[in-house]
Copies of this chain bind each other. A is one copy, B any other.
Amino acid sequence: MPARPSRISLRADALHNRHRILQAAREAFATRGLDVPMAAIARRAGVGVATLYRRFPTRESLVTEVFADQLTACAATVDDALADPDPWRAFRTVVEQVCAMQAADRGFTAAFLTAFPDAADHEERRARAERGLAEIIRRAKAAGKLRADFHQADLTMLLLANAGIAAEASQAAPAASRRLVAYLLQAFRADHADPLPPPPPLTLSDLYGRGRGAGRPGVTQ
Chain B: minimal CB distance from A55 (Å)? 19
Chain B: minimal CB distance from A91 (Å)? 15
A79 contacts partner chain B, Cβ-Cβ < 8 Å: no
Please measure, in the bound complex, the distance between the C-alpha atom of A147 and the C-alpha atom of B16, giving whole angstroms: 55
**Cβ A198 vs Cβ B178 within 8 A:** yes
A182 contacts partner chain B, Cβ-Cβ < 8 Å: yes
**Cβ A183 vs Cβ B179 within 8 A:** no
Chain B: minimal CB distance from A57 (Å)? 23
Please measure, in the bound complex, the distance between the C-alpha atom of A4 and the C-alpha atom of B73, giving whole angstroms: 56
A74 contacts partner chain B, Cβ-Cβ < 8 Å: no
Please measure, in the bound complex, the distance between the C-alpha atom of A189 and the C-alpha atom of B191, giving whole angstroms: 14
- B161, B180, B213, B221: the one contacting A40 at CB < 8 Å is B221
- B44, B113, B186, B200: the one contacting A176 at CB < 8 Å is B200
Q: Which residues of the partner chain B approach A187 to less than 8 Å between Cβ atoms?
A: 183-184, 186-187
Chain A 111-131, CB within 8 Å of chain B: the 1/0 string? 001000000000000000000
Residues 167 to 189 of chain A near chain B (Cβ within 8 Å): 167-172, 175-176, 178-180, 182-184, 186-189
13 A-B pairs, CB-CB below 8 angstroms?
Answer: A160-B176, A167-B167, A170-B213, A171-B215, A172-B202, A179-B197, A179-B199, A182-B197, A183-B184, A183-B187, A183-B188, A186-B187, A186-B196
For the complex of A and B, 5 pairs with smallest distance between CB atoms: A164-B164, A161-B161, A192-B192, A31-B214, A187-B187
